[in-house]
Amino acid sequence: MDTIPQDDSPQKQCKGLCRRILPATPEFFYQYKKGGYLHPHCKECVKQERKNYRAAYPEELKQYHRRDHQIHREERLAQYRQRYENNREAVLEQRKQDRQERPEVYRARGRFKMQRRRALHRNIIGALTAQQVQAKLQAQKYACYYCFHKFEQRKDGTYIYNLDHVVPVSRPELAPRHDIDNIVIACPSCNRHKSDKLPHEWSEGNRLL
């Protein structure tokens, strides 16, 4: 007579929100580095708890990361320089390849870093990625948000444009954000003339928001 095989693998109940009984393996539970013990909450619950915490305390986390950066700044810079020196040739070769294969993304990366530094200096919350900007550029059909003229192209095929904050970051009383919902893509001329105005304050913009 055939018998049903029994699963003798150790089980563990999640102490988090789901309360499920799962196999007691690192596949379902995070493992502590010291001692090798499994976390009492399963991986899904831990991820959800972290997500809820980030949503509930954004300013506290921002201040924590700033303090941590100041405390460990010199140590991390030394580690970065060491890694760069050990892999200098590979890093330079990768950068050269990026310039050739993805010139638009490579140019945008430097622009995003500069704008992120400005936003952090002014305590503006939000984040922006190159992928979001590329999607916005395609949605605007490679034309200026304000004057509707097509962007000029360089010899390498990349477009000449500026990222404009609809609510300017220079006006903190209006609670601006540095994210894709507060960004439009404009030609350099419109971005320069708009300056720190809102769209309805700038009559040449042809936009009322």
Interval 159-163 mean pLDDT: 86
| Residue at token pair 């095929």 | 157
Say what the pTM is.
Answer: 0.46
Range 46-61 average pLDDT: 91
- In the prediction, which pLDDT does 20 show? 92
Distance of alpha carbon 56 from its chain centroid, rounded?
Answer: 18
Strand, helix or coil for residue 152: coil
> Domains of the chain: which residue ranges?
12-54, 87-205
- How confident is the prediction for the chain on average, in pLDDT? 82
Do 59 and 52 form a contact (C-beta atoms < 8 A)?
no
Q: What is the CATH number of domain 87-205?
A: 1.10.30.50
Average pLDDT over residues 175-198: 86
| DSSP structure string for 41-65 | EEHHHHHHHHHHHHHH-HHHHHHHH
56: confidence class by pLDDT, cuts 50, 70, 90: very high
Is residue 161 within 8 A of residue 152, CB to CB? The reply is no
Between CA 102 and CA 175 the distance in angstroms is 34
Is 149 buried (19+), middle (13-18) or exposed (0-12) by CB count in 10 A?
Answer: exposed
The reported pLDDT for the residue numbered 33 is 82
Predicted local confidence at residue 29, as pLDDT: 93
DSSP code of residue 27: T
Six-digit token pair at 86?
């050990």
Q: Tell me 209's DSSP state.
A: -
Measure Cα distances from 25 to 43, 135, 153 in Å: 11, 40, 54
